[in-house]
Amino acid sequence: MESTEEILAKLAIRDDAFIQSILAGKDEAIISLSGLEPKPHALARIAALVALDAPMPSYMWAVELARGAGVTDREIVGSLVAVLPAVGATRVVAAAPKLGLALGYDVGQALEDSGVLLG
C-alpha cells in the first residue's frame, strides 16, 4: 500500500501510469487506495458529480454504487445539502432532479402533481 505522501506526490506530478491504474481499477481497489470506507467513498463520488454538473447516466452509476455500499436514499439526498454551501444553489438545484430520477423519484412530476409551478 502506498503512503499518503506517495499518493499525493503522484497525483501532484500527474503520474499518468498511476492515474491510469486508478481509472482502470476495480471499485474495490479504488476504495482501498482512497483509504475511505465504502459509504463515504460513494458519497464523495456523488458530491463530485454535483460539483461537475454531471449528466444523468453518471448519477445512475453513482447511486447504484452507493446503494451497493449500503448508503441510504436519505444519505444520498443529504449529500446535496452537504455540498450546497461549497458548490452553490445553482449546482444543487440542477442536480436534484437528476439524482431524484437515479433514485427512482421523478421530482418534476412530484412538483407538478403537488401544484407547485416550475419556472
Question: Within this chain, do residues 42 and 30 fall inside the same structural domain, yes or no?
Answer: no
The tally of domains found in the chain comes to 2
90: left (phi over 0), alpha (psi -120 to 50) or beta: alpha
pLDDT at 101: 94
Given a cut of 80, whether residue 117 has pLDDT beyond it is no
**Can you say whether the dihedral through the CA atoms of 39, 45, 49, 55 is positive or negative?**
negative
Question: Within this chain, do residues 91 and 75 fall inside the same structural domain, yes or no?
Answer: yes
Question: Within this chain, do residues 44 and 98 fall inside the same structural domain, yes or no?
Answer: yes
pLDDT at 116: 63
User: Which of 70-74, 76-80, 89-93, 115-119 is predicted least confidently?
Assistant: 115-119
Question: Within this chain, do residues 1 and 57 fall inside the same structural domain, yes or no?
Answer: no
**pLDDT, tens only, 20-35:** 999 998 888 899 999 9
Question: Within this chain, do residues 45 and 60 fall inside the same structural domain, yes or no?
Answer: yes
pLDDT > 70 in the chain, percent: 96
Question: Within this chain, do residues 78 and 99 fall inside the same structural domain, yes or no?
Answer: yes
Global pTM value: 0.84
- 92: containing domain: 37-119
Question: Within this chain, do residues 45 and 72 fall inside the same structural domain, yes or no?
Answer: yes
